Amino acid sequence: MKMSEGVEWGLHCCLALAWLGDDTAVPTATLASAFDVPPHYLNKFLQALVRADILASSAGVKGGFRLAKRPEKITLLDVVTAIEGPEASFRCTEIRRRGAGVTARPSEFAMPCGIAIAMGRADAAWRRELAAQTVADLVKAAPPAGAERMRCWYAPRAR
C-alpha cells in the first residue's frame, strides 16, 4: 500500500505557498522547479488541489497558484483526500457472502462484516490524526531557514 508521490509534492507545494504568502501566485513551472519534479505531472496534482478548494489558480501573465484559504484551515487530510481520493485503504468486497456464505440466512449479514469494521477503526484513527494537523502546523514545524531560503529563491523568479 503506497500513496502516490503527489501527496509529498502537494504538501510541499502548500508549505511553499504558505511561506510565499497570499499575494504571490506561483506558476506550475516555478513550483516544479522549486522541487525539481516534472511540471506536467505536478500540474495534475495542483489541479486536484484546486478542485478541492485548497489552492486557487489564476490565469494571465501574473497568474499561478496560491493557497485558497488560510494555512490553519487546510488539514493534511484535505490534501491527502484531494490527491488520493476519499476511499478507505481497505475495501470490503463482502467475500463472507460468497462460497461457504451463499447458504447463509440474510440475517447473518444484517450487521457489517466485523473485519471491515475492525479495519475501518484503523482507517478512522489515521484520518483523525491527519485531520488534526494543518499546513499552519507544517509552517511552525519547519526550520525558519527553509522559509527564508524559499523566499530568496523565488524573488528573482517573480513576475
Residues of this chain, 28-47, that bind its own copies according to CB under 8 A: 32-37
Query: How far apart, in whole angstroms, are the C-alpha atoms of residue 65 and residue 24?
Result: 8
CB of 77 to its own copies, least distance (A): 8
CB of 17 to its own copies, least distance (A): 13
User: Could you tell me which of 38, 42, 41, 40 has the C-alpha nearest to residue 55?
Assistant: 42
> Should residue 72 be labelled a site residue for its own copies when binding is judged by CB under 8 A?
no
- Measured from the CB atom, the residue of 60 and 144 that comes closer to its own copies is 144
Dmax of the chain from CA atoms? 71
Query: How far apart, in whole angstroms, are the C-alpha atoms of residue 109 and residue 133?
Result: 37
Query: How far apart, in whole angstroms, are the C-alpha atoms of residue 66 and residue 154?
Result: 14
User: Could you tell me which of 82, 24, 9, 81 has the C-alpha nearest to residue 58?
Assistant: 24
Among 38, 41, 53, 95, binds its own copies (CB under 8 A): 95
Query: How far apart, in whole angstroms, are the C-alpha atoms of residue 33 and residue 74?
Result: 24
Among 59, 60, 61, 105, binds its own copies (CB under 8 A): 105
Span interacting with its own copies, options 48-56, 57-65, 66-74, 134-142, rule CB under 8 A: 134-142
Run of H or E including 13: helix 5-20
> Should residue 129 be labelled a site residue for its own copies when binding is judged by CB under 8 A?
yes
Query: How far apart, in whole angstroms, are the C-alpha atoms of residue 25 and residue 56?
Result: 9
Among 63, 70, 89, 158, binds its own copies (CB under 8 A): 89
Q: Which residues bind its own copies (CB under 8 A)?
A: 1-5, 7-9, 11-12, 15-16, 32-37, 76, 84, 87, 89-93, 95-96, 98-101, 103-105, 108, 111, 114-115, 117-119, 121-130, 133, 137-138, 141-143, 145-146, 149-150, 153-154
